[in-house]
Structure 1
């Protein structure tokens, strides 16, 4: 396994300065945003798509520091009911797949998106209760008419270009649990898999180790984020896990994102890394820093230090004792 970082947290730094900094910390891989919610501070996809020389310079900057690009990330909502938004996000995803193919980057990360509840809707509708039955009807309509057709087409588009899609299982979007990830993969093909982030499992009440087993046995983990979560034992009883308060209201929220090791101890993280190895995932563990109690540099540094203790780096050897 390689230790990586989602470089959106260093968007204020120029590309090569950012690469120098993360390489000096011992990171071996970078995940780079190409637009959408992460922005494109370190990767102008249109420029790179149009200019082979700029693509070579981009690759050289990464290679010369002993790094790899684990994924290009373009988190967005390509199923948004407003056509201007979904059209822009669809273009972003397709262009990111094209760029990943040209740069020989194996994974593109994004969100599944969330449609509205009918063709003329203006806003996404995220049904999470089976009753009243209206919600089931909305869910069936979304998956039959929007989710499965779109991702089947994008799955083919990516597969033709030798790229895999890592969908982040995230609340507010159609794919947010291992079960609906596997439902989509079964319908849309094996190019579609997970960019699994344990932080979003914890607040939904899902054990990330079990999520790794469920998805890993199906070969459905294409990328992995390292981010932690704490659940406040008092506030969760007031607001529930679907707490709609701003992330900035950390004292009052039911749960909040933390840097690695500040939500769960290193035994839990060792179990996560071991589960990844057990199911055959031997790619990048990419740090995502969204801890409201720590600066970017401190949160990133602590995540690196903590993960260095538990990351399994060497190839599996012979079982000499059997």
Structure 2
């Protein structure tokens, strides 16, 4: 596995400054935001495709520091019921696919998206209740009429452009938010669909990341290194479906933290060991969203923990003791 960073957290620096800093910290690969919610601080897929010289400049800067580009990120909601919003995310996502082809990057990271509850909706409707029956009707309409048809077309588009891994972050608020929903879409669309495995979103749902990794064997295409701390007192009162604003941390049931500040190193060792057992050997990409730390401190503390816990080397040959 490789130590990596999602460079969005350093959006106040140029690409050159970002890579120089990360190189000094021992980072091996990066994930570059190029549209959608990650923004375009270090790459703009739409603009790059219109101006090929920008791609050349990007490649020259990356080559200068010898850091690999493991993935492009273009999170969004291309099945948003508001057609203008959906079109914008759709165009940015397809540009990201085309840019990945130009750069020789095999993985594009994003969200599955979430439709509304009918063709006249203006806002997404995330269904998390089994009853009343209305919710099940909404869910099946979303999947069968919107989600699956859209991603079948985009999977074909991606493969035509030599991108064979679309990695969905399993994120509440979108139709793919846990291993079951990820596998449902993968079964319907094909193996181009896989997971961006981010434990932080699983921790607060009550999902065991080790069990989830085992369930997703062969379908994990990317990994976000981000932690979550559960406030056991607030959670005991309000549960995990907490919509308190992120900046009111003392009132929340859970909050995103940098690696090691939500769960101890033993948990992360178990996660990386399970990843190794399932055959994952890709990037461990730090995503910083810790409201209690500055970006630099949070990033550097995460790197310290990950250097001790990631399994970097792939075993070759037999076991001498067996």
TM-score of the two chains, using structure 2 as the length reference: 0.98
2:7 counterpart residue number: 7
Tell me what 2:268 maps to: 269
What SS does the aligned partner of 2:249 have? coil
Q: Which stretch shifts more, 308-317 or 122-131?
A: 308-317
Q: Say yes or no: does 1:171 pair with 2:172.
A: yes
Q: Mind listing any 5+ residue stretches in structure 2 that lack a counterpart?
A: none
CA RMSD of aligned residues (A): 0.9
Give the drift of 1:317. Answer: 2.0
Residues of 2 paired with 1:47 and 1:154: CA distance? Answer: 20
Partner residue, 2:202? 201
Q: Which residue does 2:117 correspond to in 1? A: 117
Q: Distance in 1 between matches of 2:39 and 2:299?
A: 19
The count of residues paired between Structure 1 and Structure 2 equals: 320
SS at match of 2:250: coil
Q: Report the 3-state secondary structure (helix = DSSP H, G, I; strand = E; otherwise coil) of the residue aligned with 1:273.
A: helix
Per-residue CA deviations over 1:153-211 (Å, capped at 9, x if unaligned) read 11111112221101000000000010010000000011110111000000011001111
CA drift at 1:297: 0.3
Listed as ranges, the matches of 1:46-57 within 5 Å are 46-57=46-57
Structure 2: how far apart are the matches of 1:17 and 1:228?
26
5+ long unaligned stretches in structure 1:
none
Alignment of 1:8-87 (within 5 A): 8-87=8-87
State the alpha-carbon separation in 1 of the partners of residues 2 and 166 from structure 2.
Answer: 19
Q: Distance in 1 between matches of 2:265 and 2:64?
A: 32
> Would you say 1:306 and 2:272 are equivalent positions?
no
- Cα displacement (A) at 1:44: 2.1
Contact 2:46 2:92 in 1 (8 A): no
Number of the residue aligned with 1:211? 212
Deviation digits for residues 97-125 of structure 1 (CA, Å, limit 9, x no counterpart) = 00001110111111000000000001000
The alignment partner of 2:235 has SS state of helix
The question of 1:95 aligning with 2:95 is answered: yes
Superposition misfits of 4+ residues, deviation over 6 angstroms: none
Q: Deviations over 1:184-239 (max 9, x none)?
A: 000001111011100000001100111111112xx111100000001111101222
Structure 1 counterpart SS, 2:279: coil
| Map of 2:133 onto structure 1 | 133
Superposed, which structure 2 residues align to 1:151-190 within 5 Å?
Answer: 151-163=151-163, 164-190=165-191
Cα shift readout 1:248-268 (whole Å, capped 9, x = no counterpart): 010010000000001000010
Task: For residues 120-156 of structure 1, give each alpha carbon's deviation from its aligned partner in whole angstroms, at most 9, with x where no partner exists.
Answer: 0010000101000000000010000011101111111
SS in 2 for 1:141: helix
CA shift at 1:289, angstroms?
0.4
